[in-house]
């Protein structure tokens, strides 16, 4: 019924799937230095960085479809920081550090997953349909 809603749901599902992958990839990383300890750690670091870029890009695309107000009811996420992280990861990749990636994954990603699942429930339940009526 709402092609834009279907697109947003596809983007959100992709982000949720990628968040689960990110959590799984980083499950053995206990401190930022684990990314630097060997080749495996470096590969995980780079993969996590790309996953974060993919996740944040999905939210930027959702914002571009729905507008800035779409995320306002989900106040536990600092959305401007999510959008800014996408730009930082995309354009400043050489400046990305292990501590920042580690802190994001361990400190922020679990809440982003929880909120993303709540957004999905609101989307499928029709609570966000006003964003797709015009």
Q: pLDDT digit string (tens) for 104-127? A: 999 999 999 999 999 999 999 999
Residues 6+ apart with CB under 8 A from 102: 29, 31, 32, 35
Which residue, among 85, 80, 108, has the nearest Cα to 97 in the 3D structure?
Answer: 85
Instruction: Note whether residue 90 is domain-resident.
Output: yes
Instruction: Note whether residue 52 is domain-resident.
Output: yes
Question: Which domain, by its residues, includes 68?
Answer: 3-125
- Residue 3 burial (CB count, 10 A): 8
Instruction: Note whether residue 111 is domain-resident.
Output: yes
Q: Kindly report the backbone phi and psi dihedral angles of residue 56, in degrees, each rounded to the nearest multiple of 5, phi listed first.
A: -65, -35
Q: State pLDDT tens for residues 75-107.
A: 999 999 999 888 888 776 567 889 999 999 999
Give the chain's domain count.
1
Number of residues that make up the chain: 134
Q: Tell me the whole-structure pTM to 2 decimals.
A: 0.92
Which pLDDT belongs to residue 133? Answer: 83
Cα–Cα distance, 132 to 104 (Å, whole number): 31
Which pLDDT belongs to residue 46? Answer: 93
Instruction: Note whether residue 121 is domain-resident.
Output: yes
Instruction: Note whether residue 12 is domain-resident.
Output: yes
């Amino acid at each position: 019924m709402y092609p834009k809603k279907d697109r947003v749901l596809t983007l959100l599902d992709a982000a949720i799937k990628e968040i689960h992958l990110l959590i799984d990839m980083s499950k053995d990383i206990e401190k930022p230095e684990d990314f630097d300890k060997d080749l495996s750690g470096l590969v995980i670091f780079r993969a996590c960085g790309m996953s974060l870029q993919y996740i944040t890009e999905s939210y930027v695309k959702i914002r571009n479809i729905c507008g800035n107000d779409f995320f306002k009811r989900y106040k536990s996420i600092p959305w401007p920081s999510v959008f800014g992280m996408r730009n930082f990861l995309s354009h400043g990749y050489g400046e990305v550090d292990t501590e920042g990636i580690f802190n994001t994954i361990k400190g922020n990603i679990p809440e982003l997953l929880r909120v993303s699942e709540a957004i999905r429930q609101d989307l499928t339940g029709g609570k966000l349909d006003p964003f797709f009526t015009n």
